[in-house]
Amino acid sequence: MNIRKILILVDLSETTPSLLRYGVQLASSLSAHVWVQHVYYFPPDLAGDVLIPPDALERYEVQARKKLEDLKHSVASLIEKPLHTIVVRGDLAVQANRLIEQQHIDLAVIGNRGGGLSSNILGSNTLKIIYHLQCPVLSVPTQASFQPFRRIAFATDWQQTSPKHVDQLKSLVNSWKAHLDIIHVSADKKPSENVNELYHLEDIPYTLHYLWDKDIEVGLQKYVAEQQTDLLILIPHQHSFFDRLFQRSITQQMVYHSHLPLLTLRE
């Protein structure tokens, strides 16, 4: 997973400056190009017409573009490469995917106001974004300060982890010269297969941990809280415990440490 192009999705709220700064510093550490996109949406009425006058929409877009340009200048000194800014009306996932496809984006960065995925800037669309964006998604807590990921945790049951995912993990570990903690999660205590033989991990530093807990969500939460983890990686498969974990985090706000970035890989 070579991250050469990064998309930062912003809502132009009070948390946008810190998210933008984080994303730009991340991009700078990887010598990546950056696109910053603001997607706004006004729901139509039953006839399909937007209930806001066209001139009001135009004024909003002009103001949004100016605000985005001001934010762009505020972080210009943090990165050598130029920043590309885009303001567009429509569905967030559709517009983001259109840009991802056009520019061959490698990673999307979104904000997380803390307390879990339930308070993500994308609100109730969080799962929709994670499942439908055509690239990996990094969710960043509010006010988080970027630091290279030296300790990366990957939680998996190995049932749907493909060689492609392993290659992505290796690339990320090598990019940041990090150590990989593989957390094998299971509700039943039974021997694990030899992951080194299965996935040829001998060329990266890693440690295999076993998490046996009837309540996997609680067990993972405890592990993340106790370890010096800089980044947690998940693969949110449909119809798996990861799907249940994401659903639970949205309703109960109990899964992730508020200062821990979360990266979800594509299937």
What's the whole-number average pLDDT of the chain?
80
Q: Output the pTM of the full model.
A: 0.85
Q: What is the pLDDT of residues 181-200, one digit of tens each?
A: 988 876 666 555 566 666 77
Domain 151-264 has CATH 3.40.50.620: yes
Average pLDDT over residues 245-254: 44
Strands 137-141 and 262-264: antiparallel
User: Cβ-count burial of 207 within 10 angstroms (0-12 exposed, 13-18 middle, 19+ buried)?
Assistant: exposed
What token pair was written down for 81? 């490469």
Distance, CA of 85 to CA of 71 (rounded, Å)? 10
Q: What is the pLDDT of residues 90-141, one digit of tens each?
A: 889 999 999 999 999 999 999 875 444 333 333 445 667 777 899 999 988 8
Domain ranges of the chain: 5-141, 151-264
Q: Rounded distance, CA 263 to CA 201, Å?
A: 20
From the candidate CATH numbers 3.40.640.10, 3.40.50.300, 3.30.2320.30, 3.40.50.620, the one assigned to the domain spanning 5-141: 3.40.50.620
Same fold, 5-141 and 151-264: yes
